[in-house]
Amino acid sequence: MKFRTDPARIRGSIAPLMTPFTAEGAVDHAGLTNLVHWQLASGSHGISLGGSTGEPSAQTIQERATAIRTVAAAVGDRVPFVPGTGSAKLDETLELTAAAREAGADAALIITPYYARPTQEALYVWYRTVADEFPDLPILAYNVPSRTAVDIAPETVARLYRDVENFVGIKETTKDFEHFSRVLHACGPDLVVWSGIELLSLPLMALGGSGFVSAVANIAPVAVAAMFEAWEAGDLERARELHYGLHPLVDLLFVETNPAPGKWVLEQRGLITSSFVRPPLIPLTTSGQERVRTLLDEGGAYLSPVDGFTVKGAHA
């Protein structure tokens, strides 16, 4: 939890882990630990768990809390750990956030409460309530209107940032790039802002972003981390090369509903033993596999090595 007191240090490529399941559908904690070790060896600057890519809504609160503890133990203090601890229910959000704090998380990422479509005032009250409950834990909003049916307005973010000491930032998973700009303009450059849209990760840096939580880091962590490092070093040509080189792998992730395609790739590469996804999702279809193979051929040069991290029972 060494980054908890200085959330501005939580920068770069924060890998949003997929949650591996066994072929029977149980959470695979050994597989989860293996993915953490591979991510760290591949240069990811931080680890997240429990965002959309991790299938949180298909898990019980206890399963999510146990997975948070597994990842926290595997990460240690080597890089920041920022789990998603939000739910559509306040009691569940508080329970998961407490578990994350106790496990040593450096910050908590709280999704806007989905389905209910709360007003901006209700969103303000929601985030303030959570933040006040955990004054020693940095809190970030997770804005993903395509999944939640509600968009937290830049003015609401600014109000929270001004009024709530431990509200420190936001993960913006919206294709409305103007929204990114208005949030930073309203809050100033010290707000932690991450992109959750793969193809807006590099553009966000030009506006003053702190990094990105990009699902493509699940299969290409080296390249995604290198893109951030190239930007930081002022090597814009290299950063753009990586941005465009990753395009086929980004498209791959969304051939069918994320994370089914990415899990199939991880299984094929031997990093997990099963590509099982929980209902209502289904595993990658045969036609989807054909499309994924084509995109792997196009973007394969940007996949990260897996030597030393393959697991028994997976496809190598």
Give the residue numbers marked as catalytic: 142, 171
Q: Tell me which residue of 104, 117, 99, 12 sits closest to 59, measured CA to CA.
A: 99
Q: Are strands 192-195 and 167-172 parallel, antiparallel or unpaired?
A: parallel
- CA angle, 93 then 96 then 100, to 5°: 130
d(CA 201, CA 263): 22
Does residue 39 contact residue 46 with C-beta atoms inside 8 Å? no
Does residue 121 contact residue 65 with C-beta atoms inside 8 Å? no
**C-alpha pair distances (Å), 147 with each of 91, 115, 152, 173, 282:** 21, 9, 13, 10, 18
Does residue 108 contact residue 138 with C-beta atoms inside 8 Å? yes
Would you list the DSSP string of 245-258? HTHHHHHHHTSSST
Q: Which H/E stretch holds residue 108? A: strand 108-111
Q: Tell me which residue of 33, 83, 76 sits closest to 59, measured CA to CA.
A: 83
SS3 212: strand
CB atoms near residue 254 (< 10 Å) = 13
Phi, psi (rounded to 5 degrees) for 284: -55, 130
